[in-house]
Structure 1
């Protein structure tokens, strides 16, 4: 792996917390993701199933984790199944985990080769009453390609129709929402790499450069720092493209006078960073660009004060929306009278700020977790207000990653330039 070693205690503790949520005589099974095809004999780079990684630390295809706390045989209470390597695999694909390496990574004593799984499964199903299987239950997920989990669920229900099947996803959503100290360490590193890429961009951008050239600078910095690459599709939008929320074509030439909206983040050890900045292509903001930037920055600073223990997402978004309304009135984009008489279910600020201010962050950039759970210490949220004025070809978004603590919060990206003066100064260098 490109990233440094992770203490197996992280995964041991994650499994312990998961086991505590299981009723007696439960069996839980987690599968690695498929290697996805492209065309002909091509494949995409492998990306592990985040729940399997969270519970085992294994970053390899064709892996299965079994958790059966009440199994009669102690060796069957935690089992990691790995793909047995061969000379052919070594020649064509490279090294795979040995059993001893699997023990070191996951902190699991019982490691078996994958071909032992059917017989062990049959034995454990004879003991189990409740069977926990996994699926993607993210609230915004659109799953059109059949996954390994989906095939496995169908096969299990066909072969063992009388067992009680339960959903593992809600349990993982509950656990993954609270980050441990080791997870925060990994997320800090993802943020550091992201910040270094941003500083690199500040010294690179000038009129005439292409958006994809900027993207290449970012990816270069990511990969030279031990990141696998971007945690999500990087948004490099200049001029009018900055007003498109999920603009990823990145194929426009930056023009003098444009503001360039950057939304990117490194992945490190499968954990995501998520940063947004809006910088002047010419190195200096125009008076109007400064005005809008400062408005977004004020909303950003207010929103940060609301990311505290006990608050909740609907109350939070309403409060941020009210501050944004005030800023949009000052910018002559909204009329104060119209705002006073608006439909509360269709606030006028949505024309210029159509997305939410925050989302969970972790192994997924839009991480799992119950949306309406009150904020708790250990949660990490993004803070990303923006104003998009299509008629002015101007879009500005500012985003940092915020860790909620027992006494307030901590900005995990506090060292990344955010103020106007700092950005202009660094671009002049």
Structure 2
């Protein structure tokens, strides 16, 4: 746990919110993620289950949360199972949570060792009427690898075939979409770390540096502030920026190029997501500046347009209409092109082909209900762009916002984005 401790009241309240959505006599089971293998005897670093973390604050592998609010046995209404910290584990893998530490992190008072889970599960299953099990139901998930949750679903249904099974994911998506004040503060902390990384780069980038050297500067700044890359960084100079998910980061940054930086930190498993586009030599050309300002206008208008009650698809379409007008002024579209615009075939698609933004939180592309309007407490990214491979550059800008009843709040308002400010800060760093 690199981050500072989080008050367990956050996770106590998250569990309480979930319990209020459950029908009577329901049993909920949520597993930690697997520790995934690499090659030979290697494994990836443990990546916490965001659902388990949301409900417990626990990041340790092989942990299980069992919720049975209506159990006739009070000690079985809320149980967290963790690995027993025996001496051999301490020697080979390091410290594991004690029962007291698990309670302190999660607010769960009944802690059991993982070996106790089968017997307690059977006892609860014989009393419960509805079983809520978890799976990754993100709309864009490539569900080709069987997870620990997947295996448990199959095992549980085999062992207890006559029970009524329900999907937990829709309930968690509903809950996780709305961030509490405590969650917003953790996201703000991630945004603050990201701000430091970006401002560090404004004093580092110049003709002749390599993209991976820029990545190294960010890594230093993020890690020293208890953060880490929220996602694989995109550091794309020149035409590389026209590939939406370019991550090689191995090319030189040339004089006259723009450098697109889609890079951000997380903190305490909560993510930020930032994109900036800066001139490698510290000055935009007139054409680069015109494109940059066009994207910035669409971003600012889209931030203002993210209001409670608006559907995501309508918000996105509004940005496309604005982008059509900007592309028309840039000479990239004709009036005839704009007149042919439809939702299915937007006129701007050649130059702005991706979504305007997504929910963000414990996952970078965070879970949220797909067919409901924006609500107060949603945290969203806003990321329009214009991509010009024939001209050898692209511009994308991205900030994170909090949607409130009084309008949207830009959580990255203090991170430089105006072209004049970026040029001034790059010039000042070179004196």
State the alpha-carbon separation in 1 of the partners of residues 182 and 304 from structure 2. 25
Q: Which residue is equivalent to 2:237?
A: 238
Q: Which residue is equivalent to 1:181?
A: 181
State the alpha-carbon separation in 1 of the partners of residues 298 and 12 from structure 2. 40
Q: Which residue is equivalent to 2:265?
A: 266
The CA RMSD over aligned residues, in Å, is 0.8
Q: Which residue is equivalent to 1:341?
A: 340
2:340–2:347 Cα contact (<8 Å) kept: no
Q: Which residue is equivalent to 1:81?
A: 81
Which shows bigger deviation, 339-348 or 167-176?
339-348
TM superposition shift of 1:29: 0.2
State the alpha-carbon separation in 2 of the partners of residues 133 and 315 from structure 1. 33
SS in 2 for 1:23: coil
TM superposition shift of 1:372: 2.3
Correspondence list, 1:223-372, <5 A = 223-227=223-227, 229-372=228-371
State the alpha-carbon separation in 2 of the partners of residues 49 and 123 from structure 1. 26
State the alpha-carbon separation in 2 of the partners of residues 11 and 269 from structure 1. 13
Write out per-residue CA displacement over residues 253-283 of structure 1, whole angstroms, 9 at most, x where no aligned residue: 1111000000011111101000000000011
Runs of 4+ in 1 over 6 A off after TM superposition: none
State the alpha-carbon separation in 2 of the partners of residues 343 and 68 from structure 1. 50
Q: Which residue is equivalent to 1:58?
A: 58
Correspondence list, 1:107-118, <5 A = 107-118=107-118
State the alpha-carbon separation in 1 of the partners of residues 195 and 341 from structure 2. 40
State the alpha-carbon separation in 1 of the partners of residues 365 and 86 from structure 2. 38
Q: Which residue is equivalent to 1:131?
A: 131
2:33–2:49 Cα contact (<8 Å) kept: yes
SS in 1 for 2:62: coil
State the alpha-carbon separation in 1 of the partners of residues 5 and 246 from structure 2. 35
TM superposition shift of 1:337: 1.7
TM superposition shift of 1:343: 4.5
Q: Which residue is equivalent to 1:67?
A: 67
State the alpha-carbon separation in 2 of the partners of residues 62 and 338 from structure 1. 56
TM superposition shift of 1:345: 1.8
Pair 1:421–1:232, CA change in 2 (3 A): same
> Normalized against structure 1, the TM-score is what?
0.99
State the alpha-carbon separation in 2 of the partners of residues 385 and 345 from structure 1. 18
> Normalized against structure 2, the TM-score is what?
0.98
Which shows bigger deviation, 343-352 or 64-73?
343-352
Q: Which residue is equivalent to 2:19?
A: 19
TM superposition shift of 1:358: 1.2
Q: Which residue is equivalent to 2:211?
A: 211
SS in 1 for 2:126: helix
TM superposition shift of 1:338: 2.1
Q: Which residue is equivalent to 1:385?
A: 384
SS in 2 for 1:245: coil
State the alpha-carbon separation in 2 of the partners of residues 90 and 266 from structure 1. 30
TM superposition shift of 1:426: 1.0
TM superposition shift of 1:344: 4.3
Q: Which residue is equivalent to 1:93?
A: 93
SS in 2 for 1:172: helix
Q: Which residue is equivalent to 1:202?
A: 202
Q: Which residue is equivalent to 1:376?
A: 375
TM superposition shift of 1:341: 2.7
Write out per-residue CA displacement over residues 124-165 of structure 1, whole angstroms, 9 at most, x where no aligned residue: 000011111100000000022111111111111111111111
5+ residue gaps, structure 1, are: none
SS in 2 for 1:255: coil
Correspondence list, 1:117-196, <5 A = 117-196=117-196
TM superposition shift of 1:371: 2.2
SS in 1 for 2:307: coil
State the alpha-carbon separation in 2 of the partners of residues 334 and 131 from structure 1. 55
